[in-house]
Amino acid sequence: MKEKVHQTVLVLDFGGQYKELIARTVRSLKVHSVILPGATPAEEVAKLAPIGIILTGGPFSVYAEDSPKADPALFGLGIPVLGICYGMQMMSAALGGEVSPCSVSEYGTTEVRVTEECVLFEGVKTPMQTLMSHTDYVSRVPEGFRIAAVTDNCPAAAVACDGKKLYGVQFHPEVERTRGGRRIIRNFLYKVCGAKGDYTMDAYIESEVRRIREQAGEHEIVLGLSGGVDSAVAAALIERAVPDRLTCIFVDHGMMRKNERAEIEAAFGGKSLNLVCVDAKDRFLSRLAGVTEPEQKRKIIGEEFVRVFESESAKYDDCFLAQGTIYPDVIESGANNSANIKSHHNVGGLPKESRFVGIIEPLRGLFKDEVRALGRKLGLPETIVNRQPFPGPGLAVRCVGEITEEKLGILREADAVFREEMAKGGVKADQYFAVLTSMRSVGVVGDFRTYGYVVALRAVRTTDFMTCEYVHVPYAVLDRASKRIVDEISGAGRVVYDVTGKPPATIEWE
């Protein structure tokens, strides 16, 4: 049976910060999307047969000599195109229009008025509040184009060439701050590109199960189960594809959050897969004794984890290695000639000396929100699916200074209390946790002097984890968390709240 192929929209990247958000928005509208470099040749694009193309924004001026450009032949393929911000300017210039510096640049929320009927704005309330971020504008539209929207300072906030299905918007429809932006993208997908909406998690499961079976053949599969969302969902999907042939190795390095090992055992213990839990706490703590430098701690934990996993997985011969690699890992590591933001250990294939037959990566094409949705479809509990991002070294990078069993115990309990109170209070945050500082503080309990550790609480809101703002947690929630931590946890003497954004700080303390 031939595998069904999804309709696909290509997102061509010109260095804009919202490329992943564009691709995720398209997928949330049930259309498959793929991010490729902006300079991808038209010939290669034609072979991929996308139903549409979206050109991202970027921090460049199209008239600059070294500015990135799309292949001009792209606009003659007959494939609908939506240019966003720089993408609109670049398309306009390529087709004979003119782009000039703004007399008044537009940044932040800007009102856009639709001046002519346009398929993009059907069902959108106007005037509309949008996010603008540009210092150039289209001063003369190409032949065959018309202006469909304006602002007080931008005479071409949207352009359209209906005959060739080429459209451009100067604002960013992909962000939440643009009211009606999602409808604009939907109109492009369904009314311009003719999307069928054939991209769903049910369809993904069906096609990926078939692909895993074909790739694995009769081989066994070994997966390192970290306790995070990605590896857990990968395990559940592979287990559905090849029951009884998956071994999951969970290395407990003693620096997990409270109850995480029990949650993993409960979620996977009753399945057909073989769950192997390796208790390596003493091994890790002995190597970390006396170490205080954060990067050294990370390296020690990473090296030891590899050694433990290799030692345990050596018991299984002629196997595939499975990984929870997801699409942002691939993009950030520079795949498909995209910019290398940061290298990920799970991207790049097997080393030449590896004894594994090959790699199986069932989540390689998914974003994090899709991974969570897939996990729910596969029946994983919310405690696993909604798990917050957690660093590989675990609590070690939230325990400032030397790692000891006593300090880990204090931190583990404090972190659990804070997460419980945040949940009870219904506080919205993308990541929240406790940090055990290396500082001790004098306190009084009853008639006695105490000298306990200072616990710092952190809660942030972010869309990309590259930047963040601290969350204004209600005082009542902080009050309950603080009282419980000091009253219930021996060794905790004082609680503070971190109100620093990123930059200048990082989300984690180490």
- For 140, the 3-state DSSP assignment is strand
468 is catalytic: no
Amino acid in position 99: V
**CA 183 to centroid of chain Cα atoms:** 23
Please tell me which residue in 6, 20, 85, 253 is annotated as part of the active site: 85
Burial 66-99 (b: 16+ CB within 10 A, else e): ebbbbbeebbebebbbbbbbbbbbbbbbbbebeb
CA angle 21, 372, 193 (to 5 degrees): 40
248 is catalytic: no
Among residues 417, 384, 386, the alpha carbon closest in space to that of 489 is found at 417
472 is catalytic: no
Please tell me which residue in 20, 174, 413, 510 is annotated as part of the active site: 174
- For 463, the 3-state DSSP assignment is coil
Within 10 Å of residue 276's Cβ, how many Cβ atoms? 16
Q: CA-to-CA distance for 65 and 270, rounded, in angstroms?
A: 61
Q: CA-to-CA distance for 133 and 1, rounded, in angstroms?
A: 48
Q: What is the dihedral of CA 189, 195, 201, 204, to 10 degrees?
A: -120
Query: Is the CB of residue 465 less than 8 Å from the CB of residue 426?
Result: no
**CA 408 to centroid of chain Cα atoms:** 28
Within 10 Å of residue 46's Cβ, how many Cβ atoms? 14
Please tell me which residue in 6, 134, 172, 253 is annotated as part of the active site: 172
Report the 3 state secondary structure along 349-400: CCCCCCCCCCEECCCCCCCHHHHHHHHHHCCCCHHHHCCCCCCCCHHHHHEC
Strand partners, 246: 221
Q: CA-to-CA distance for 471 and 478, rounded, in angstroms?
A: 12
Note the helical H segments in 242-377. Answer: 260-268, 281-288, 294-313, 327-332, 368-377
Q: CA-to-CA distance for 393 and 24, rounded, in angstroms?
A: 29
| Residues assigned a catalytic role | 85, 172, 174
